[in-house]
Copies of this chain bind each other. A is one copy, B any other.
Amino acid sequence: MEAQEHQAAATEAPKSGHNEIYDEDGVVLASFLAHIGAAIADRDTLTLKQDVAALHESELGHLLEALQPDQRRSLVELLGTDFDFSALTEVDEAIRLDIVESLPNAQIAQAVQELDSDDAVYILEDLDQEDQDEILAQLPFTERIRLRRSLDYPEESAGRRMQTEFVAVPPFWTVGQTIDYMREDNDLPDSFSQIFVIDPTFRLLGAINLDQILRTRRTVKVEDIMHETRHAIPATMDQEEAAREFEQYDLLSAAVVDENERLVGVLTIDDVVDVIQEEAEEDLMRLGGVGDEELSDTILAASRSRVPWLLVNLFTAFLAASVIGLFDQTIERVVALAVLMPIVAGMGGNAASQTMTVTVRALATKDLDIYNAWRIIRREMGVGFINGIIFAVLIGIVAATWFSDPYLGCIIASAMVINMFVAAVAGILIPLLLDRYGVDPAVASAVFVTAVTDVVGFFAFLGLASLWFGFG
């Protein structure tokens, strides 16, 4: 998670370095994997240290994910202190826990000291309270206080994701003094793109981008070139909200402040990129009826996480079935209705899911708000009506031909227009209402929308048919 090109690797490895690890699809090369696998089997520490040391943390992460569980643990054990723990921030939670729990707490404590504080917190936060305390107890005082402070902020808050290493100077320093300080102090963060200006109590006064410092003469005071930090992030702010600030204002890094406006850390864009990615992924997963599942979850964990959604859907399925049950005598006389009825319900469901997808996404990105809601609702109704007519005609003709019954064609066509229009309305209004009442539209929309299109689809088609053919 370090916002810096991997210099060590760049110097040792040839320019095409990582091309030798991945094939053209970006998958870890089978030959590289076999080579590492053999070295693990032979306990060939020398080869491992040589070939794995040149990897970027994310490359090492991919390697770990591609290995078998026992190979993973052996690799970490064989590398010893040469294992780059920051690679653990790049793998699935289940893999991370498996590796960390296989190691003695003393070794983890040792490794954690080498990490940036944000990476250390990322690894520690998933551990039991007991292990966490034991590891923290073995750290030097300042390190311990820093990590403890981050861990005390709520999960998924800016305080958890921030880096506690930063450069801060007093306002009366000159640019020259600041540059000299950076040249002499060896305790700087690994990389940074901004320095902060603070008062003696650590209260944040402003920030300066590095390029600004480089363009300014040495005699100028920092307070004269600093800009006010409009986007200081409270440590308790949710990481998603912080990510949105970054996105909207194109920030590279932002100061994180505590409840007294005191500077406690810095949040950098590279950490935020992961949050943005996760957030978009969350909507997709929720719309698909899967929660926070990870690929490394076990069968039972995955099964358990998916049952609730299926259960809710089961109720809507029985609801739809009971609508069909109302018309069982009509179906008994005209069995073609049973053959055709899933088409009406299904096409409505598909049309509604199109509208719902657009709506849920627009709500998530805040592109849909009270200013354009009515316009979008009107648009969706228009789309539903036009597409309803198109598919009513198509399906009507096919059904009339199939069962040699023009009346049946007219009935299914009318039902289609009704259901496609209702589908559009449900597809936009349900997510909007859920959002309005504080329910995540990505989680709950699909169930309600399907219930509506199923019920209306069956009711409209079988109802119209019963009016025409009689109720049995």
Contacts and interface: CB of A to CB of B under 8 A. Distances in A.
Interface of A: 1-7, 9-11, 13, 15, 17-18, 25-28, 30, 33, 56, 58-59, 65-66, 92, 179, 182-183, 188, 191-193, 207, 209-211, 213-217, 227-231, 244, 246-252, 269-270, 272-274, 276-277, 280-281, 283-285, 287-290, 293, 295, 297-300, 302-303, 306-307, 309-310, 313-314, 317-318, 320-322, 324-325, 328-329, 331-332, 335-343, 345-347, 350-351, 353-354, 356-358, 361-362, 365-372, 376, 379-380, 382-383, 386-387, 390-391, 394-395, 398, 450, 454, 458
Contact of A290 (B56, B307, B324, B358): B358
Given A3-B252, A215-B182, A342-B345, A65 B324 contact: no
B280 A394 contact: no
A188 B212 CA distance: 11
Contact of A231 (B5, B207, B299, B342): B5
Contacts of A246: 273
A37 to B, nearest CB: 11
A380 B2 CA distance: 35
B289 A357 contact: yes
Given A290-B358, A371-B33, A387-B306, A273 B249 contact: no
Contacts of A346: 313, 317, 320, 450, 454
Contacts of A217: 183
A324 B402 CA distance: 13
A284 B357 contact: yes
A17 B230 contact: yes
B252 A193 contact: yes
A289 B350 contact: yes
Most interface-central of A26, A182, A335, A454 (chain B CB within 10 A): A335
A295 B367 contact: yes
Contact of A6 (B10, B179, B249, B382): B249
A288 B357 contact: yes
Given A210-B210, A210-B211, A230-B6, A339 B325 contact: yes
Given A18-B230, A338-B338, 8 more contacts: A1-B250, A25-B366, A30-B370, A66-B372, A193-B193, A210-B211, A295-B372, A332-B335
A380 B343 CA distance: 28
B227 A10 contact: yes
B230 A28 contact: no
A320 B287 CA distance: 24
A285 B361 CA distance: 8
A294 to B, nearest CB: 9
24 contacts: A2-B250, A4-B250, A6-B230, A10-B227, A33-B371, A65-B367, A66-B372, A182-B211, A183-B214, A183-B215, A210-B211, A250-B270, A284-B287, A284-B357, A287-B287, A289-B357, A293-B358, A295-B376, A297-B379, A300-B386, A307-B387, A314-B395, A341-B342, A342-B342
Contacts of A9: 230
Given A277-B276, A309-B354, A354-B289, A5 B302 contact: no
Most interface-central of A269, A270, A379, A454 (chain B CB within 10 A): A269
